[in-house]
């Protein structure tokens, strides 16, 4: 990349408001060809909105967009795509019921005449995924049957198949584990070498330091600074993002599980072919971290503990007594809650208000008499929780669908924290959550455990697992490979274990 190269993309003085929110105020942003440019900022800072203005999803209130020196305005994402602007959105835009191949070629014809040449489509899709270095995805499978990370890879393949000149990735690695992340990094480096201008949105500063040429930081809809990566470091980036010095990150306070009957005992659990003969114990007041490569069975395990899987065998004991978990309802009755990684489909009711989403699962606790909701009590508790998990919203009456991605994730967290459940299972709890709020959420989980709740955190983020867990389980190909105590766990040993070897 030549420093003197004029920017391929230049956005000048962009402003965009929503009811009650100035999402962007006079933001300048430019990207050169052959550059990976990070766009960073806290949840709700305006990152996704800026990119949606670029893509023609939103029209700006003010400002202009130049591509290759030409002022352009896109009426729709389709128009932007036709002009070489491809965006991988934070919330995937795939059609769940269609196959992988059909999703990649949606809206495009292949083969002549009126007949769709399904074989040609499948072959092309396979070719595109192969080019990406992705293996193990059957292009004939419906997208809804794939785990989130594979869906993410399909989404990326779909956008790349249009061969964009400007490529925007809105938190592409949030759902990816170590291996896929590496794959994506290599891919982006290859695209950069071919002269594509890449915008990379992420809350993971290590990735940004390793991958990007420059970074632009947004805070509250305003431009803070554009900075060259070679001239900065991780802590400066974090500081610019939060707007204050970060002294200490989350520190584990070395808690031990309480003596007595375990909160949960899992014996010889099997879930289809995904989980094979797994046994472990969750102590009361303990935070148990479970990690592994993508598809090692950890998500299926969590889903089984919440009654979401059918083909399950083995024994699960709650406070020493065997229980049956055939549905989420039965799980909740046993005091077990699950926060999933699929916020669109499982976590939230998008058209409802933030408040309603927070209180929905807890309605019974807000009922005074049989039918009357205690509105005041509901109001107080939901307001307090929303502040605790730091949801950024113009009001609690705003619909959840208008919140930024990270803020939606905070609402899901808050919703489960509000319920008085004894066992909480979280899959990737801080996926898409900014650095500032992350530490806060870890501290809250720790407090809950201190108060006697038992918590399982499933995450592919090793630093998260190390930072928060009292004990750690590593799964490999559906089996429990190793257990670590806090005292004998470090990144190196965990990394070896998730890959199936032990140091
Ligand atoms: N369609 C919309 N209607 C109303 N408000 C919106 C809409 N889209 C975004 N906002 C608001 O604009 C602000 C910026 O949101 P944006 O999604 O751009 O944040 P972000 O930087 O991408 O955050 P995150 O890291 O959480 O994804 C937020 O306050 C959000 O609530
Ligand atoms: Mg966003």
Q: Give residue-wise pLDDT tens across range 59-90.
A: 999 999 999 999 998 998 888 988 999 999 88
Cβ(429) – ligand 1 distance below 6 Å:
no
**Two tokens, residue 377:** 């009590």
The Å distance, Cα 14 to ligand 2 centre, comes to 17
Smallest-distance ligand from the CA of 406? 1
Residue 253 confidence (pLDDT)? 58
- Measured between alpha carbons, how far is 41 from 23 in angstroms, rounded to an integer? 12
Q: Look at ligand 1, atom 2, and give the residue with the nearest C-alpha.
A: 402
Region 329-358 average pLDDT? 84
Q: Is residue 116 part of a domain?
A: yes
Residue 364 has pLDDT above 90, yes or no: no
- Measured between alpha carbons, how far is 287 from 157 in angstroms, rounded to an integer? 37
The Å distance, Cα 89 to ligand 2 centre, comes to 9
Residue 131 has pLDDT above 50, yes or no: yes
Smallest-distance ligand from the CA of 170? 2
Residue 373 confidence (pLDDT)? 58
Domain that holds residue 452: 264-335+421-498
Band of the pLDDT at 4, cuts 50, 70, 90? low
Task: Output the CA angle 486-488-490, nearest 5 degrees.
Answer: 85
- Measured between alpha carbons, how far is 99 from 314 in angstroms, rounded to an integer? 33
Question: Looking up tokens 């809809």, which residue turns up?
Answer: 221
Q: Look at ligand 1, atom 3, and give the residue with the nearest C-alpha.
A: 402
Cβ(45) – ligand 1 distance below 6 Å:
yes
Average pLDDT, the chain: 87
- Are residue 55 and residue 135 in the same domain, yes or no? yes
- Are residue 169 and residue 275 in the same domain, yes or no? no
Atom of ligand 1 nearest to the CA of 218: 21
Residue 467 confidence (pLDDT)? 86
Cβ(90) – ligand 1 distance below 6 Å:
yes
- Measured between alpha carbons, how far is 149 from 259 in angstroms, rounded to an integer? 38
Cβ(431) – ligand 1 distance below 6 Å:
no
Residue 370 confidence (pLDDT)? 46
- Are residue 304 and residue 169 in the same domain, yes or no? no
Q: Is residue 394 part of a domain?
A: no
Q: Is residue 247 part of a domain?
A: no
- Are residue 201 and residue 284 in the same domain, yes or no? no
Residue 244 confidence (pLDDT)? 67
Residue 368 confidence (pLDDT)? 47
Of 242, 277, 292, the domain-final residue = 242
Region 173-192 average pLDDT? 83
pLDDT in tens, 213-250: 999 999 999 999 999 999 999 889 988 998 865 544 55
Residue 369 has pLDDT above 80, yes or no: no
Q: Look at ligand 1, atom 29, and give the residue with the nearest C-alpha.
A: 44
- Are residue 207 and residue 302 in the same domain, yes or no? no
Region 362-389 average pLDDT? 70
Q: Is 35 helix (H, G, I), strand (E, B) or coil?
A: coil
- Are residue 271 and residue 236 in the same domain, yes or no? no
Total domains present in the chain = 2
Cβ(41) – ligand 1 distance below 6 Å:
yes
Cβ(48) – ligand 1 distance below 6 Å:
yes
Region 262-286 average pLDDT? 95
Cβ(292) – ligand 1 distance below 6 Å:
no
Bridge pairing between strands 336-339 and 423-427 = parallel
**Residue among 20, 23, 40 to mutate when testing ligand 1 (max atoms within 8 A of CB):** 23
The fraction of the chain above a pLDDT of 90, given in percent, is 50
Residue 285 has pLDDT above 80, yes or no: yes
Region 420-439 average pLDDT? 87
- Are residue 181 and residue 304 in the same domain, yes or no? no
CATH number of the domain bearing residue 71: 3.40.50.300
Closest CA to 386 of 348, 360, 361, 413: 413
As a whole number of Å, the CA-based R_g of the chain is 23
Bridge pairing between strands 166-170 and 62-67 = unpaired
**Residue among 404, 409, 410 to mutate when testing ligand 1 (max atoms within 8 A of CB):** 404
């Amino acid at each position: 990349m030549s420093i003197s190269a004029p920017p391929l993309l230049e956005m000048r003085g962009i402003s965009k408001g929503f009811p009650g929110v100035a999402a962007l105020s006079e933001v300048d942003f430019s990207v050169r060809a052959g550059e990976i440019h990070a766009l960073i900022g806290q949840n709700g800072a305006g990152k996704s909105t800026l990119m949606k203005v670029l893509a023609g999803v939103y029209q700006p209130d003010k400002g202009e967009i130049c591509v290759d020196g030409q002022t352009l305005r896109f009426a729709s994402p389709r128009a932007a795509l036709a002009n070489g602007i491809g965006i991988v959105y934070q919330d995937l835009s795939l059609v769940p019921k269609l196959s992988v191949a059909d999703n990649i070629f949606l809206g495009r014809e292949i083969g002549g005449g009126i007949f769709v040449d399904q074989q040609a489509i499948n072959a092309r899709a396979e070719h595109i995924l192969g080019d990406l270095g992705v293996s193990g995805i059957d292009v004939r499978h419906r997208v809804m049957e794939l785990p989130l990370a594979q869906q993410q890879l399909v989404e990326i393949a779909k956008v790349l198949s249009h061969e964009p000149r400007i490529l925007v990735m809105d938190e592409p690695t949030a759902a990816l584990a170590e291996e896929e992340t590496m794959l994506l990094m290599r891919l982006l480096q290859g695209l950069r070498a071919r002269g594509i201008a890449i915008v990379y949105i992420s809350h993971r500063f290590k990735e940004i330091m390793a991958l990007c040429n420059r970074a632009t930081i947004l805070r509250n809809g305003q431009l803070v600074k554009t900075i060259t990566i070679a001239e900065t470091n991780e802590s400066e980036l974090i500081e610019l993002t939060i707007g204050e010095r970060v002294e200490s990150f989350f520190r584990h306070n070395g808690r031990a599980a309480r003596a007595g009957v375990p909160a949960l005992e899992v014996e010889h659990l099997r879930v289809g072919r995904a989980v094979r003969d797994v046994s472990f114990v969750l102590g009361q007041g303990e935070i148990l971290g479970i990690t592994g490569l993508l598809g090692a069975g950890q998500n299926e395990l969590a889903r089984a503990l919440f009654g979401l899987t059918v083909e399950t065998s083995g024994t699960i004991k709650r406070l020493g007594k065997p229980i049956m978990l055939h549905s989420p309802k039965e799980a909740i009755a046993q005091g077990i809650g699950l926060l999933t990684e699929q916020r669109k489909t499982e976590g939230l009711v998008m058209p409802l208000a933030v408040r309603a989403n927070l209180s929905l699962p807890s309605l019974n606790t807000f009922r005074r008499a049989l039918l009357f909701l205690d509105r005041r009590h509901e109001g107080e508790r939901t307001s307090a929780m929303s502040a605790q998990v730091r949801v950024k919203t113009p009001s609690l009456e705003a619909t959840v669908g208008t919140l930024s991605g990270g803020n939606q994730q905070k609402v899901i967290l808050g919703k489960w924290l509000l319920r008085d459940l004894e066992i909480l299972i979280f899959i990737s709890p801080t996926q898409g959550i900014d650095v500032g709020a992350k530490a806060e959420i870890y501290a809250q989980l720790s407090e809950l455990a201190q108060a006697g709740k038992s918590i399982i955190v499933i995450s592919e983020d090793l630093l998260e697992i190390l930072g928060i867990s009292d004990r750690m389980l590593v799964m490999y190909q559906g089996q429990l490979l190793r257990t670590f105590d806090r005292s004998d766990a470090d990144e190196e040993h965990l990394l070896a274990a998730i890959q199936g070897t032990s140091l």
